[in-house]
With several copies, the nearest count.
Chain A
């Protein structure tokens, strides 16, 4: 029997309240379509990137978030332009949802001078400080202390912004998870923690190495209001994020969302992920967050054509981003020696 991908992490009592919260209000179709658009953008970006990798056009590897798009789409729907996000190695979705330019991101994947980081970072280090995207991170859980520090800086400066901090289910077993949550709670910092539980930490199931009652229970013990939500249901996510983000913005301290989703691809673009059954993946695919939203909105009377139009437009935009990246110049070799530090010559 295939493992049900959405149930191998123990669920706290809070899981139902998210569903209730969602049910308590009518669907805001415009907002929902906005989130659909973001999900399509992420999906198109990563599907293109995977193809380009296969064709040998991109250097390195990527960590695709296909199947997990609802989480960044819903979280960033409640963020203002002046808010911040910190991200992970699997960070394309976070950047795109916060508003990063796909062309600059694609340029970065190509390693070109037009890239968001001038080709110095690559997929794992995409950042766009102009929109508050404080950077993807190649070290599991390393974004957590950075997020709480950003929130502390915001508070010190008397600004109103909040920080959304994304990390995976594997990160809940690294020390900075405890340290950062405790820190945010002690200083009542404006951080919305978002655990994207995609079922896996690389080739090992998250649940196999995570004891106890899961991420949300850990957060609760540290004094954070926390909830588990269906991370493939963008509307359920949105209802909870809106409430939690408002509390964070209102100065009530940090909040924690545990979003249960599934990583339908391998860990990286190289990983065949043969440590799980086809049936298990099929079960997850049936829960695809894009299809699910389209189906549900369709039931509410939104025409199928609208989804197709959105999807096609996003695909086109990404295609253009690819072409721009392909045409962009390589960085000058000399630029490898820039942006290191002001004091002390690099050679």
Chain B
């Protein structure tokens, strides 16, 4: 185990994959200069600017060229800088990358990773703060991954790079500097396996990515109030670990899903709906979501605080759920 930050975990995993497989390369703005967050620092030196290509500001073509390069057998890592900028490349992601294999009857594989740092950080306002995992989960053909710890970032990035399916890899901008223990020679982590982030038998809390921190903090405070909360970190949004969640809620009869994204149409809705369907007709369930209100992300710290899901919000929601 080594203690490293989110940035370092991703960096290490990527470098190891690039050493392992010469077909792996990176394209995106500023990546040869180390990337916006330092997540590619020094890699151009080791692998050359043929494998770390600082591109023009041409998101549609960054995404589309990544696909073209995958179609001829390379394995691109497409750096989007932020989810928000990927909105300039949605045709390429949704109409092309996600569909080529199917449309072409299995001939094509879009084996690539699209890295999209997401979420609020440093008061970046409405166009630099979005979380859109629910969108990508709705698109057939895409794998959607959202690690919440450095170790998961490393293991899931390896799995993403080795995946023959295209993977949308959502990295929590706010946690770039957060540190955690990461195993040496990290193994790829299989998609669709939730991690029990905290044991607890009375209430199920499902979360991922940036919401993991507030969720764990609230669960700890809840414990002090006598509520035993089991925290499941989904880690991957598609596929997601339906069985682990259903199994837990079957025991607890109580579920809270917490995420940073807007609640309306967020992936929490899918989790609740699936649980409600799977446990339909059994005794009454208590299911709740906690996410952002349906407002764009504001700039002012005071306003950001007003819409951010934080530990006290989670604790409140747990109290309500347990009091029901």
**Direct A/B contact, Cβ within 8 angstroms:** yes
Using CB atoms, name the residue of chain A closest to B100: A135
A346/B294 contact (C-beta < 8 A), A138-B127, A182-B56 known: yes
17 A-B interface contacts by CB (under 8 A): A115-B105, A119-B303, A125-B126, A127-B103, A127-B104, A130-B107, A135-B104, A138-B84, A141-B57, A142-B92, A152-B69, A155-B50, A174-B57, A179-B56, A343-B238, A344-B238, A347-B294
A139 touches B91 (CB 8 A): yes
Enumerate chain B interface residues (CB-CB to A < 8 A): 23, 25, 27, 29-30, 32-34, 36, 50-51, 53-61, 63-74, 76, 84-85, 87-88, 91-92, 95-96, 100-108, 122-128, 140-143, 163-166, 191-192, 238-239, 263, 293-296, 298-303, 305-307
Question: What A residues does B296 contact at CB under 8 A?
Answer: 340
A346 touches B140 (CB 8 A): yes
Q: Shortest Cβ distance from A101 into chain B, in angstroms?
A: 13
Number of chain A residues whose Cβ lies closer than 8 Å to a Cβ of chain B: 81
Which one of A6-14, A197-205, A289-297, A307-315 contacts B?
Answer: A197-205
Which one of A65-73, A235-243, A245-253, A327-335 contacts B?
Answer: A327-335
Q: Shortest Cβ distance from A48 into chain B, in angstroms?
A: 18
Given A61-B122, A124-B124, A186-B56, 5 other A-B residues pairs in contact with their CB atoms under 8 A: A120-B125, A122-B299, A150-B72, A343-B163, A344-B238
Question: What B residues does A334 contact at CB under 8 A?
Answer: 306
Q: How many angstroms between the C-alpha atoms of A242 and B65 in the bound complex? A: 26
Q: How many angstroms between the C-alpha atoms of A151 and B61 in the bound complex? A: 13
A64 at the interface (CB under 8 A from B): no
Question: What A residues does B33 contact at CB under 8 A?
Answer: 203-204, 275
A125 touches B125 (CB 8 A): yes
B298 touches A336 (CB 8 A): yes
> Which of A139, A152, A157, A333 meets B96, CB within 8 Å?
A139
A337 at the interface (CB under 8 A from B): yes
Question: What A residues does B57 contact at CB under 8 A?
Answer: 140-141, 170-171, 173-174, 201, 209
Using CB atoms, name the residue of chain A closest to B303: A336
Q: Shortest Cβ distance from B79 into chain A, in angstroms?
A: 12
Question: What A residues does B102 contact at CB under 8 A?
Answer: 120, 339-340
Question: What B residues does A84 contact at CB under 8 A?
Answer: 72
A111 touches B30 (CB 8 A): no
B295 touches A145 (CB 8 A): no
A300 at the interface (CB under 8 A from B): no
B192 touches A118 (CB 8 A): no
A26 at the interface (CB under 8 A from B): no
Q: How many angstroms between the C-alpha atoms of A210 and B142 in the bound complex? A: 32
B142 touches A341 (CB 8 A): yes
Q: How many angstroms between the C-alpha atoms of A137 and B295 in the bound complex? A: 18
Number of A-B contacts (CB under 8 A): 288
Question: Quick one: CB contact mask for A126-137 with B, threshold 8 Å, 1 for yes?
Answer: 011110001101
Using CB atoms, name the residue of chain A closest to B292: A347
B165 touches A342 (CB 8 A): yes
> Which of A122, A142, A335, A337 meets B293, CB within 8 Å?
A337
B68 touches A142 (CB 8 A): no
A120/B103 contact (C-beta < 8 A), A142-B92, A202-B29, A344-B239 known: yes
Question: What A residues does B71 contact at CB under 8 A?
Answer: 129, 134, 146, 149-150, 153
A139 touches B56 (CB 8 A): no
B295 touches A340 (CB 8 A): yes
A127/B108 contact (C-beta < 8 A), A173-B58, A336-B303, A343-B165 known: yes
Interface centre among A148, A342, A343 (most CB of B within 10 A): A343
> Which of A146, A209, A341 meets B67, CB within 8 Å?
A146
A152 touches B303 (CB 8 A): no
A344 touches B192 (CB 8 A): yes
A282 at the interface (CB under 8 A from B): no
B107 touches A59 (CB 8 A): no
Using CB atoms, name the residue of chain B closest to A338: B106
Q: How many angstroms between the C-alpha atoms of A125 and B72 in the bound complex? A: 18
Q: How many angstroms between the C-alpha atoms of A220 and B124 in the bound complex? A: 36
A5 at the interface (CB under 8 A from B): no
Interface centre among B32, B59, B142, B303 (most CB of A within 10 A): B303
A336/B143 contact (C-beta < 8 A), A120-B103, A120-B298, A153-B72 known: no
A125 touches B299 (CB 8 A): yes
B293 touches A346 (CB 8 A): yes
Question: What B residues does A145 contact at CB under 8 A?
Answer: 60-61, 63-65, 67-68, 92
> Which of B127, B239, B299, B307 meets A60, CB within 8 Å?
B299
Question: What A residues does B163 contact at CB under 8 A?
Answer: 342-343
A264 at the interface (CB under 8 A from B): no
Q: How many angstroms between the C-alpha atoms of A307 and B5 in the bound complex? A: 51
Q: How many angstroms between the C-alpha atoms of A137 and B125 in the bound complex? A: 11
Question: What A residues does B166 contact at CB under 8 A?
Answer: 341
A204 touches B30 (CB 8 A): yes
Question: What A residues does B293 contact at CB under 8 A?
Answer: 336-337, 346-347
B295 touches A117 (CB 8 A): no
Using CB atoms, name the residue of chain B closest to A59: B123
Question: What A residues does B238 contact at CB under 8 A?
Answer: 343-344
A139 touches B84 (CB 8 A): yes
A156 touches B60 (CB 8 A): no
Q: How many angstroms between the C-alpha atoms of A176 and B142 in the bound complex? A: 23
Q: Shortest Cβ distance from A72 into chain B, in angstroms?
A: 19
B56 touches A183 (CB 8 A): yes
Question: What A residues does B67 contact at CB under 8 A?
Answer: 145-146, 149
A116 at the interface (CB under 8 A from B): yes
B72 touches A59 (CB 8 A): no
Question: Quick one: CB contact mask for A75-92 with B, threshold 8 Å, 1 for yes?
Answer: 000000000101000000
> Which of A187, A204, A343 meets B143, CB within 8 Å?
A343
Q: Shortest Cβ distance from B166 into chain A, in angstroms?
A: 8
A204 touches B29 (CB 8 A): yes
> Which of B87, B104, B307 meets A336, CB within 8 Å?
B307
Q: How many angstroms between the C-alpha atoms of A173 and B88 in the bound complex? A: 13
Question: What A residues does B141 contact at CB under 8 A?
Answer: 340-341
| Ranked 6 nearest A-B pairs via Cβ | A145-B64, A149-B68, A149-B65, A111-B300, A122-B299, A117-B105
A23 at the interface (CB under 8 A from B): no
